[in-house]
Amino acid sequence: MKIQQLSLFLENKPGHLSAICRALADARINIVTLSLADTQQFGIVRLIVEEWQRARDVLEKSGFVVHVREVVAATVPDRAGGMLETLDVVQKAGVNIEYMYAFTCKRGNNAVVVFRFDDPDKAIAALKAAGQEVLGSNELFS
Amino acid sequence: MKLPTESAMSTCEFWNDADSPVHPASAPDFLPLPQLRALQLHRLQVLVARAHAHVPLVRQRMDERGLRPEHIRTLSDIAKLPFSLKSDLRDHYPFGLFASPMSDVVRLHASSGTTGKPIVVAYTAGDIEVWKSVIVRSLAAAGVRRGDIIQNCYGYGLFTGGLGLHYGAEAMGATVIPMSGGNTDRQIMVMKDFGVTVVCCTPSYFLHLADEAQKQGVDLHALPVRVGIFGAEPWSDGMRQRIQSLANIRAQDIYGLSEIIGPGVAMDCACQCGLHIFEDHFYPEIIDPNTGEVLPDGATGELVLTTLSKEAMPMIRYRTRDLSRLLAEPCACGRTLRRLQRISARSDDMLIIRGVNLYPSQIETALLSVEAALPHYQIVLTREADLDQLEVQVEITAANFTDEVKSLERLQKGIADAIEHVTGLRARVHLVEPNTLKRSEGKAKRVMDLRKMS
């Protein structure tokens, strides 16, 4: 029920993000979604791709240091109050959110959001119990 | 044979500036050479006998060479004696090189070594008197007198600079303001309000003070400051000219090192043509750093110093790693003490940043205390607003990369804290992408020194 996210370290210089995208493009790997977190000095880019192992190998061969992290792709009702409901479920279960970002695709009337929880298993159990769908790689990449 | 205590001459109640341009405490600077050499030989013989009797390392090394104290019959016999190295101080930390019992030691100081442990130096009451006297002679050579108001910005504490200048300046009868370093606004206020006539600090700090003073509308030319006693870091003639015209003061160079005594080993005279070594206390030699061969006066090589009168921690033929030359030609000031050409280079990899000694290996020690494996790193030194800036670039690796911003920030801060802990310096830590720092075939060039000595 968890999917693999790749993250890379980026200095705040022009062209560095392009280099990552070029390596993936040359290997014909599609980026499903990504997020870029920044500080004054550096950034971290987080990617969801279909073939994460191949992507990791391609990037490491190009000299990047790649971190693989388990994240949860959960559906969030795409209407006013939808995000709030999801957050309530997670909060009641005592789980902390480290970061999150949205997918580009929809699932019916739901948005799909990537969460990094401090306790993913507890979060998944709580979300499922509340009737919110949690997507695995099969559902995401079909 | 005991000479009258030199410090008794320095507070000279009855001495009047108008009668003599030379301070009476400077008398030993003008000894005729035969008398100077006789004094040096006598002191060397006493030193070697004492060190042989009380310092195990010295006895061991002399035994290995079949040397006994009575073999030192002329000054050139000094070349038979073994060298002392900085590593000796590290290996025998903290008190293994003492020649006096701790009950006779009245002061301990320390300065940075190549790793976490500092270099410890010790002084008996007699050593403190000698230290005071060479500082008095240094100040006197710079034209400082009783009645001068001295602002001492060298660091007070374990560092020898602050207290060294302080006690000597007091012994001279001058008025000393123990400012220590930092707090530039307060330094400027004191300089203005207290009628300071002499400033003691690193030359780069003085330029920084001058910049700030200008921003605050304080005109240094209008202040009574007339002499600067600058040292603890290498500085060029260009910088000297800049300071002298900027502030309308005489910028005098003072040289010293903690292992020998602290500041007061050598000093500029009015001629500004080399620093007179107080060689009645610190015997100089220039050696070829590769062979150890003693070179004649005038040749460039590594400066070696022997403490002729130190009791608590005598140093015999201490290799300073400073490259320079000895100038034996007569000086216009009349002093017979040989001059040391201003130090510009070192034969090891030590750096001086804001007056603080730094070895690249200390950065490695700091990095290893934070991370299990040593990442590739680079030290970048720049000069901003006349102050040295230390930046350490550290490569991200598979081992230290975590995908959360806060963890990386914590890593960055952890490294900066470790560097401060090991070196005493605050560094900017810059995390860089993997494989971006230059790799080299042989010894990695870890330091990019972009400061220009201007």
Res B3: pLDDT: 53
What is the topology classification, in CATH, of domain A70-140? VC0802-like (3.30.2130)
Q: Does A125 touch chain B (CB under 8 A)?
A: no
Q: Does B65 touch chain A (CB under 8 A)?
A: no
Delimit the domains of chain B by residue range.
6-348, 353-449
- Which of chain A's residues have a Cβ under 8 Å away from the Cβ of B412? 41
- Which of chain A's residues have a Cβ under 8 Å away from the Cβ of B401? 9, 65, 67
Q: Do A65 and B430 touch (CB under 8 A)?
A: no
For chain A, what is the radius of gyration of the CA atoms?
16
Res B116: pLDDT: 63
- Which of chain B's residues have a Cβ under 8 Å away from the Cβ of A44? 403-405, 408
Report pTM.
0.75
Q: Report yes or no: B252 and B227 within 8 Å, Cβ to Cβ.
A: yes
Token pair of A20 as six digits:
């990552």
Distance (Å) from the alpha carbon of B374 to chain A's nearest alpha carbon: 16
SS (H, E, C) chain A: CEEEEEEEEEECCCCHHHHHHHHHHHCCCCEEEEEEEECCCEEEEEEEECCHHHHHHHHHHCCCCEEEEEEEEEEEECCCCHHHHHHHHHHHCCCCEEEEEEEEEEECCEEEEEEEECCHHHHHHHHHHCCCCEECHHHHCC
Res B14: pLDDT: 41
- B403: nearest CA partner in chain A: A7
ipTM, 2 dp: 0.77
Q: Does B402 touch chain A (CB under 8 A)?
A: yes
Delimit the domains of chain A by residue range.
2-68, 70-140
Q: Do B408 and A64 touch (CB under 8 A)?
A: no
According to the CATH classification, is domain B353-449 in 3.30.300.30?
yes
Res B442: pLDDT: 56
Res B453: pLDDT: 60
Q: Does A36 touch chain B (CB under 8 A)?
A: no
- B435: nearest CA partner in chain A: A63
Mean pLDDT of A38-48: 87
- Count of pairs with CB atoms under 8 A, one residue in A, one in B: 43
| Mean pLDDT of each 10-residue bin along chain B, 454 residues long | 50 50 91 98 98 97 97 97 94 96 97 75 98 97 94 94 96 96 94 97 90 91 95 84 91 95 96 96 96 95 97 97 94 96 76 86 85 83 88 89 86 92 90 81 74 66
Using the structure block, give the residue that is written with the tokens 């870091």. B233
CATH architecture, domain B6-348: 3-Layer(aba) Sandwich (3.40)
Q: Do A39 and B436 touch (CB under 8 A)?
A: no
Distance (Å) from the alpha carbon of A64 to chain B's nearest alpha carbon: 7
What is the topology classification, in CATH, of domain A2-68? VC0802-like (3.30.2130)
Res A42: pLDDT: 87
- Which of chain B's residues have a Cβ under 8 Å away from the Cβ of A98? 404
Cross-chain CB nearest to A64 (options B405, B431, B434) = B434
Res B114: pLDDT: 59
Which among B107, B106, B101, B206 has a CA at the least distance from the CA of B151?
Answer: B206
Distance (Å) from the alpha carbon of A109 to chain B's nearest alpha carbon: 31
Cross-chain CB nearest to A7 (options B403, B430, B433) = B403
Which among B371, B363, B436 has a CA at the least distance from the CA of B407?
Answer: B371
Distant-in-sequence contacts of B434-441, Cβ < 8 A, 24+ apart: B434/A9, B434/A63, B434/A64, B434/A65, B434/B395, B434/B396, B434/B397, B435/A63, B435/B395, B436/A11, B436/B395, B437/B376, B437/B377, B437/B378, B437/B393, B437/B395, B438/B378, B439/B376
Res B370: pLDDT: 87
Top residue of B392, B401, B403, B429 to mutate, by most chain A CBs within 10 Å, is B403
Distance (Å) from the alpha carbon of B402 to chain A's nearest alpha carbon: 7
Mean pLDDT of A108-136: 90
Res B16: pLDDT: 46
β partners of residue B345: B323
